[in-house]
Amino acid sequence: MYSQGKSKRDSRSNSIDLVLIIQILILLVAVVFALFPVVWIMSAALNPSQSMSSQSVIPPLPETRTVTADGAGTLLNIASPDGTRVERSAGMILLVEIDGEEKELRAPKNGYVQNIRINVGETFAEGDALYDIGSSYLINFDTLFNTERKPFVRWLVNSFVIASITSVLTVMITALSAYSFSRFRFAGRRSLMVFILLVQVFPNLLAMVAIFLMLQQIGLHLPFFGLNTSGGLILVYVGGAMGINIWLMKGFFDSVPRDIDESALVDGCGHWQTYWRLIFPLVRPVLVVVGILSFVGTFNEFVLARVLLRDKDSWTLMVGLWGYISDNFARDWGIFAAGAIIGALPTLVIYLALQDQIVGGLTQGSVKG
Residues 7-36 touching other proteins, rule: CB under 8 A, are: 8, 20, 23-24, 26-27, 30-31, 33-35
Stretch that binds other proteins, among 98-106, 122-130, 144-152, 345-353 (CB under 8 A): 345-353
| Contact flag: residue 194 with other proteins (CB under 8 A) | yes
Degrees to nearest 5, angle at CA 167 with 323 and 320: 5
Of 257, 261, 209, the C-alpha closest to 236 is: 209
| Contact flag: residue 153 with other proteins (CB under 8 A) | no
Query: Which x/- pattern over 49-88 shows residues binding other proteins (rule: CB under 8 A)?
Result: --xxx-x---------------------------------
Closest to other proteins by CB, 116 vs 150, is: 150
| Contact flag: residue 277 with other proteins (CB under 8 A) | no
Centre a 10 Å sphere on the Cβ of residue 94 and count the other Cβ atoms it contains. 24
Residues in the chain: 369
Stretch that binds other proteins, among 67-75, 140-148, 186-194, 278-286 (CB under 8 A): 186-194
Closest to other proteins by CB, 119 vs 363, is: 363
| Contact flag: residue 300 with other proteins (CB under 8 A) | yes
| Contact flag: residue 155 with other proteins (CB under 8 A) | no
| Contact flag: residue 276 with other proteins (CB under 8 A) | no
| Contact flag: residue 278 with other proteins (CB under 8 A) | no
Closest to other proteins by CB, 101 vs 259, is: 259
Nearest-approach distance from CB 78 to other proteins, in angstroms: 32
Stretch that binds other proteins, among 77-85, 90-98, 135-143, 171-179 (CB under 8 A): 171-179
Stretch that binds other proteins, among 97-105, 106-114, 143-151, 202-210 (CB under 8 A): 202-210
Closest to other proteins by CB, 158 vs 174, is: 174
| Contact flag: residue 288 with other proteins (CB under 8 A) | no
| Contact flag: residue 264 with other proteins (CB under 8 A) | no
Nearest-approach distance from CB 20 to other proteins, in angstroms: 6
Which member of 81, 108, 270, 281 binds other proteins (CB under 8 A)? 270
> For residue 73, what are the β-bridge partners?
98, 124
Nearest-approach distance from CB 155 to other proteins, in angstroms: 13
Total residues at interface with other proteins (CB under 8 A) = 109
d(CA 157, CA 153): 6
| Contact flag: residue 160 with other proteins (CB under 8 A) | no
Which member of 307, 309, 335, 338 binds other proteins (CB under 8 A)? 307
Phi, psi at 132, each rounded to 5°: -110, 155
| Contact flag: residue 133 with other proteins (CB under 8 A) | no
